[in-house]
Amino acid sequence: MSTVLKSNTQGAHTGTLGGSAAAKRGLGPKLRRLNIPGGLGGWLWLAIIILPVYYVVITSLKTQAGYFGQNPLALPTSPTLENYQMVLEADFAQYFMNSAIVTLGSVIPTVLISFMASFAIVRGAGRFLRLVNGMFLMGLAIPLQATIIPIYLMIIRLNLYDSLLALMLPSIAFAIPLTVLILSNFIRDVPNELFESMRLDGCSEWQTMWRLALPLTRPAIVTVAIYNGLHVWNGFLLPLVLTQSPSLRVLPLGLWTFQGEFSVNIPAVLASVVLSTLPILVLYVIGRRQLLAGLTAGFSK
Amino acid sequence: MSNAVSTAPRAAVRPASSKPTEQRKTALAWLTLPALFFFLVFAVVPLAGVLILSFTSWDGIGAIGAAGLDNWFSVLADPGLYNALGLTFLIMAVSWLVQTPISLLLGVFTAGSQRYRAALAVLYFLPLLLSSAAVAIAFKALLDPNFGLATGLGLPFLAQDWLGVPQLALGLVIFVIAWQFVPFHTLIYQGGVRQIPKSLYEAAQIDGAGTIKQFFHITLPQLKYTIITSSTLMVVGSLTYFDLIFVLTGGGPGNSTRILALDMYLRGFRANLMGPASVIAVILVIIGLALALFLQRLGGKDKQGSQLEGL
């Protein structure tokens, strides 16, 4: 009796995390015995993850003198923001804008057209749709970076070389296979009766898609949007190959050139690292539950 | 029987929706056209293009000329190719061996319900937010022999010339890759563990199986398809560790970390030999496809279709 009560309260504690409560009750007291080596390993990995992050953040707040004089892992004695000021003066605001434009300009079309395709693949029938689906699945297995040379050629021929649009078009194509896969997995989970009742109400498939499938798969859509956004935001090869002008640099490329120019000023270089990650970090803090839950569900179905 | 019941209203409504269901289902195909267009133009055409370009000579700016099999002969005779191939497979294999057990154990660990584990999982994910360029730059600074981790922790053995000695550079690359990608695979395993029916553990507990037995007889076999999914992503993904290695070591010292993707970039965009670089690209694509097919086979032939979907 008491064990039942106990496991119930524990379930309530973690209820926000969905499946974890169930997992807990399944693993039962056994899991608690695993705690010692498991916990040690868990905390050890945390240290491995956090130590570099900690180092980057504190160093970015140090003066040059502090960097050379202090213990590298000690907190800065006289914290300064001058490194950040220097980075911002080095056109990082421009790079930030470029990254934002490219990311939004890639993610919104990707998610929109992939959602439509997923809806058709799940709800439709016929050889054509099976073929399209098969092709997208194939796309998952191909390292698409290997196509960079013909893409470079095509972008030149389309007169798009050294433009932000040149970065968006291939980014959209690269993101489609995985996005379609995850979204169709989620659309497949929508109970058939709901589609049936929409049909009986005389709704067209087009209406069903926007009024039923879209709202019901919104969590998945947010997940793939964040996931793709991360990829585009952090992408390096496409901007490296397809742009040239300093005014068109996106953040990772800006980081790389900044590091090349200011390699002696490590605190400033690390401040640029922090600044380029900050927007993503803010998004992560806001949407982390959605992202983590969506990714676990999307990939392990 | 239930079929007859459900078709009755369908027949009655048919005049209202005016189209028979089958036709309606095939008519949905046009919804895939925008995605198909982008994928064909910017993924399938370049894929064909890379094969064609491997038979041409082009410096990246001027005219493109036919070169027959010259590129293929020259690349296949180049020891640089075999160095790059060897390194690619070495990094792939060691990365898999390092990352899979860590991700699997961390996945099982974070699937537990203790509150602190969920909090840890949130922090574990941090490296995935950073661009490879940022990660590479951070580690370069961190490993500075005088002003980095070695001095900070007082561990002199960390004060090595990490980027100057071939073996150390290779080890560093593998470590940093694991640092960056283990979180993602942890997440996949976490999801996999949560889907294992709890009744299996209850039954095992009644049979008196201990924790370790449960792990090897329930958790591990139940995670078979998760392992295949994660491994496929890991192995195919390892072909594209371009940006991290490019910023971290640039392929050096010497050619000791010059993997295929980097070799392709350096030949094409640094040495302006797009033909030979395209040969490398074709080899990359073939390896990627072969590996993915091989891993799907491991999952069992009949499960092939659903496994790909399971990605």
**For A150-194, how does the pLDDT look when each residue is reduced to its tens digit (9 = 90+)?**
999 999 999 999 999 999 999 999 999 989 988 888 888 888 888
Q: Which residues of A touch B218 (CB under 8 A)?
A: none
Decide if B188 and A299 are in contact by the 8 Å CB cutoff.
Answer: yes
List Cα–Cα distances, B261 to A149, B238, B257, in angstroms. Answer: 12, 10, 11
pLDDT of B12 > 90? The answer is: no
pLDDT of B306 > 60? The answer is: no
Tell me how close the Cα of B117 comes to any Cα of chain A, in angstroms.
8
Which of B130, B230, B294 best tests the A interface by mutation, with the highest count of A CBs <10 A?
B130
Take residue B211 and report the two structure tokens written for it: 């924790």
The 10 Å CB-count burial string (b at 16+, else e) for B118-151 is bebbeebbbbbbbbbbbbbbbbbbbbbeebbbbb
Nearest residue in A to B15, CA atom: A202
In a domain, B167, yes or no: yes
Nearest residue in A to B6, CA atom: A196
Tell me how close the Cα of A287 comes to any Cα of chain B, in angstroms.
11
The model's confidence at residue A301, banded by pLDDT at 50, 70 and 90, is low
In a domain, B287, yes or no: yes
Domain boundaries, chain A: 30-80, 82-300
Q: In the CATH hierarchy, which fold is given to the domain comprising A82-300?
A: MetI-like fold (1.10.3720)
pLDDT of B26 > 80? The answer is: no
Decide if A28 and B50 are in contact by the 8 Å CB cutoff.
Answer: no
- Cross-chain CB nearest to A153 (options B49, B129, B142): B49
pLDDT of A24 > 70? The answer is: no
In a domain, B128, yes or no: yes
Give the pLDDT of residue B303.
Answer: 41
Number of domains, chain B: 1
* Higher-pLDDT residue of B197, B4: B197
- Residues contacting residue B149 through CB under 8 Å, at least 6 positions apart: A51, A55, A72, A73, B142, B143, B155, B158
Decide if A45 and B124 are in contact by the 8 Å CB cutoff.
Answer: yes
Tell me how close the Cα of A76 comes to any Cα of chain B, in angstroms.
13
Give the pLDDT of residue B187.
Answer: 86
Q: Which residues of A touch B62 (CB under 8 A)?
A: none
Give the pLDDT of residue B300.
Answer: 57
- Cross-chain CB nearest to B38 (options A72, A113, A135): A113
The 10 Å CB-count burial string (b at 16+, else e) for A19-36 is bbbbbbbbbeebbeebee
pLDDT of B39 > 60? The answer is: yes
> By mean pLDDT, which of A23-37, A232-246, B43-57 is the weakest?
A23-37
Q: Which residues of B touch A277 (CB under 8 A)?
A: 129-131, 134
- Torsional class of B56: left (φ above 0), alpha (ψ -120 to 50), beta (otherwise): beta
pLDDT of A222 > 90? The answer is: no
Decide if A72 and B192 are in contact by the 8 Å CB cutoff.
Answer: no
Give the pLDDT of residue A9.
Answer: 34
Could you tell me how far CA A205 lies from the centroid of its own chain?
31
CA–CA distance, B247 with A256 (Å, rounded to integer)? 7
pLDDT digits (tens, 9 = 90+) for A103-146: 999 999 999 999 999 999 988 888 888 899 888 888 887 887 89
Query: 10 Å Cβ neighbour count for B101?
Result: 10
CATH of the domain at B153: 1.10.3720.10
Give the pLDDT of residue B211.
Answer: 78
Q: Which residues of A touch B141 (CB under 8 A)?
A: 55-56, 59, 266, 269-270
CA–CA distance, B190 with B110 (Å, rounded to integer)? 6
The interface predicted TM-score of the complex, written ipTM, equals: 0.83
In a domain, B55, yes or no: no
* Higher-pLDDT residue of B218, B16: B218
Decide if B106 and A42 are in contact by the 8 Å CB cutoff.
Answer: yes
Decide if B142 and A41 are in contact by the 8 Å CB cutoff.
Answer: no
The model's confidence at residue B297, banded by pLDDT at 50, 70 and 90, is confident
DSSP for chain A, please give it: -HHHHHHHHHHHHTGGGTHHHHHHHHHHHHHHHHHHHHHHHHHHHHHHHHHHHHHHHHHHTS-HHHHHHS-TTSPPSS---HHHHHHIIIIIHHHHHHHHHHHHHHHHHHHHHHHHHHHHHHH--SHHHHHHHHHHHHHHHS-GGGGHHHHHHHHHHTT-TTSHHHHHHHHHHHHHHHHHHHHHHHHHTS-HHHHHHHHHTT--HHHHIIIIIHHHTHHHHHHHHHHHHHHHHH--HHHHHH---GGG--HHHHHHHHHHHTTT-HHHHHHHHHHHHHHHHHHHHHHHHHHHHHHHHHHH-
Take residue B181 and report the two structure tokens written for it: 């990608």
Q: Which residues of A touch B191 (CB under 8 A)?
A: 295-297, 299-300
Give the pLDDT of residue A199.
Answer: 82
- Cross-chain CB nearest to A273 (options B58, B109, B137): B137
Decide if A119 and B31 are in contact by the 8 Å CB cutoff.
Answer: yes
Give the pLDDT of residue B135.
Answer: 93
- Cross-chain CB nearest to A30 (options B47, B49, B205): B205
pLDDT digits (tens, 9 = 90+) for A263-298: 778 888 999 999 888 888 888 888 777 777 777 766
Which domain covers residue B125, as residue numbers? 70-310
Tell me how close the Cα of A151 comes to any Cα of chain B, in angstroms.
6
pLDDT digits (tens, 9 = 90+) for A38-82: 778 888 888 899 989 999 998 888 888 778 877 787 778 778 888
pLDDT of B5 > 80? The answer is: no
pLDDT digits (tens, 9 = 90+) for B74-115: 999 999 899 999 999 999 999 999 999 999 998 888 887 777
In a domain, B215, yes or no: yes
Q: How many CB pairs under 8 A join A and B?
A: 369
